[in-house]
Amino acid sequence: DDIYLNSRTFLWPNELEQVLELSGYRLGVVRENLEVALKEKRAAFEEFLQSEKSKMEAFRIKETKEFMTVDEMKDKCDAIEKIMTVLENCSKEAKAINRDETLLQIFVTPFPILAEMIEKMSPIESLWKTAYQFEKCYEIWYYGSFEELNGDLIREQVDVMSKSIRKLIKTLGGNMQAKRIADQVRLKIDKFKVILPILDSICREGMTDRHWGLISDELGQPCNPQLYPTLCHMIDIDISRIAARLEQISNAAGNEFELNLQLSNMKSEWRDVSFELMNYRDSDTHILAALDDIQSLLDDHILKSQSMRSSPFIAALGEKATDWENKLISMQDIMDVWMLVQSTWMYLEPIFSSEDIMKQMPVEGRNFKTVDKTWRQIMINTNQDRRVIQATDYPKMLERLRQSFASLEGVQKGLNTYLERKRLFFARFFFLSNDELLEILSETKDAKRVQPHLKKCFE
pLDDT of residue 248: 96
- Residues 189, 48, single domain; the answer is yes
pLDDT of residue 445: 47
Which DSSP string corresponds to 334-368? HHHHHHHHHHHHHHHTTTTT-HHHHHH-HHHHHHH
Whether 456 maps to a domain, the answer reads no
Which of 217, 248, 270 is a domain's end point?
270
Name the percent of the chain lying above pLDDT 90. 60
Whether 111 maps to a domain, the answer reads yes
The pLDDT tens digits of the residues spanning 168-197 come to 988 886 778 888 889 999 999 999 999 999
Number of domains in the chain: 3
- Residues 387, 408, single domain; the answer is yes
- Residues 192, 155, single domain; the answer is yes
pLDDT of residue 454: 46
- Residues 40, 166, single domain; the answer is yes
- Residues 290, 150, single domain; the answer is no
Whether 400 maps to a domain, the answer reads yes
Whether 377 maps to a domain, the answer reads yes
pLDDT of residue 232: 96
What averages of pLDDT result for each successive group of 10 residues across the chain (459 residues)? 69 71 76 84 91 82 69 89 92 92 86 89 91 95 94 95 92 80 93 96 94 96 95 96 96 96 96 94 90 96 94 92 95 97 91 83 93 95 95 94 96 81 54 55 51 51
Which of 270, 294, 320 is a domain's end point?
270
H helices then E strands: how many in the chain? 16, 2
- Residues 54, 117, single domain; the answer is yes
Whether 457 maps to a domain, the answer reads no
- Residues 299, 384, single domain; the answer is yes
Question: CATH number of the domain that 345 lies in?
Answer: 1.20.140.100
- Residues 122, 230, single domain; the answer is no
Domain hosting 392: range is 277-425
The whole model's pTM is what? 0.73
- Residues 155, 18, single domain; the answer is yes
Whether 433 maps to a domain, the answer reads no
Whether 148 maps to a domain, the answer reads yes
To the nearest whole number, what is the mean pLDDT of the chain? 87
pLDDT of residue 453: 46
Whether 453 maps to a domain, the answer reads no
- Residues 136, 231, single domain; the answer is no
pLDDT of residue 29: 77
